[in-house]
Amino acid sequence: MLDIVVLGAAAGGGFPQWNSNAPACQRARSGDPAAPARTQASIAVSGDGVSWYVLNASPDLRAQINATPDMHPKEGLRSTPIRGVFLTSGEIDAIIGLLTLRERQPFGLYATKQVLGQLTANPIFSALDSSIVPRNTLELDQPVPLEPAGLSITPFAVPGKVPLYAERGENPAEVMTNGENIGLEITDGRARALFIPGCALMTDDLRARIRGADAVFFDGTLWTDDEMIRAGLGSKTGRRMGHMSIADTPDGTIESFRSLDVRRKILIHINNSNPVLLAETPERAKAEQAGWDVAFDGMKITL
């Protein structure tokens, strides 16, 4: 049995974003049931319902833990069912929640050497004492065995870019597959799920990894590449930010997945500008017609 709980479904900034007065965020802020609020992207996985592993530590992690009974302390004065935290990148919305977990509670931290290097370079993360929370280096395509026996998480390369705060040089938005951005494959030996909250483009290697999966949580940041520019919300395209777009275009997510035979396809890391967040939009209808679910906080699936 493989249990997966969506702790947060939105991209950085959440939905509604704190400083957004856009119509969709107004609806979410007012409690519109067709525009439910979402916190920043993270999921938790378990092979027995007892030991849990958090994938990405979002800035909203404290609220997410409190909203999720599976994440609550179960014994003693202080405890947690969280046995480990895995990071897919060094992006702010994937790492800041680590600071929430600084109360000297043992668990394992897992990330690639590039992401661990970003943490080491910023002394604020030393608040998470490495003698209590050991930092484990993920090696691409090498499974990490977990509790219970049979459960494992395997990191794999996904095209992406360095975090915005780490951009340097002549080509700061260069897309790379060197461990700056990864996906995570979770299996209990029977079911197989993938967590890919950020992806710059689809490649043959990534198609081979995804093909036939029981569930894939995939980058749903934007519907179209120029979405934020057209809405007057920013100057960057999705490609410049390291994200594919969902729209049914030759290089979009819907078309890229069409022949991959994935049992359950779920959009996650969804920007507040993306119309799929709204239940009645044509974009939501198109995504659902193509077999996609839109993740929401508290969503739970069992494989």
The pLDDT assigned to 23 comes to: 96
The CA R_g of the chain, rounded to the nearest whole Å, is: 18
Does a cis peptide bond (omega within 30 degrees of 0) precede residue 16?
yes
Alpha-carbon gap, residue 263 to 18, rounded angstroms: 35
pLDDT at 170 (0 to 100): 67
SS3 assignment, position 274: coil
Angle at 68 between CA 67 and CA 72, to 5 degrees: 105
Q: How confident is the model over 85-106, as pLDDT tens digits?
A: 999 999 999 999 999 999 999 9
pLDDT score for 171: 75
**Residue 131: C-alpha distances to residues 33, 84, 113, 128, 139 (Å):** 45, 14, 18, 9, 21
Q: Return the closest-CA partner of residue 15 out of 200, 160, 221, 161.
A: 221
What is the three-class DSSP state of 47? Answer: coil
Point out which residues pair with 144 in neighbouring strands: 153
Residues with Cβ within 8 Å of residue 175, at least 6 apart in sequence: 159, 160, 161, 200, 201, 242
Measure Cα distances from 270 to 173, 218, 298 in Å.
Answer: 20, 10, 15
Contact (CB, 8 A) for 259 and 210: no
So what's the pLDDT on residue 243? 82
Secondary structure class of 3 (helix, strand, coil):
strand
pLDDT (average), residues 213-230 = 90
Report the chain's terminal Cα–Cα distance, integer Å.
Answer: 6
Identify any residues that bridge with 84 across adjacent strands, giving them in sequence order. 53, 108
pLDDT of 168 higher than 80: no
**pLDDT value at position 177?**
84
How far is CA 103 from each of CA 61, 78, 106, rounded to the nearest angstrom? 14, 10, 9
Closest CA to 155 of 116, 117, 194: 194
**pLDDT for the residue numbered 233:** 74
The pLDDT value given to residue 238 = 59
DSSP 55: E
Is pLDDT at 269 greater than 70 in this prediction?
yes
Instruction: Report which of residues 56 and 168 the model is more confident about.
Output: 56
Q: Is 90 exceeded by the pLDDT of residue 120?
A: yes
DSSP-derived letter for residue 196 is E
Residue 259 has pLDDT above 70, yes or no: yes
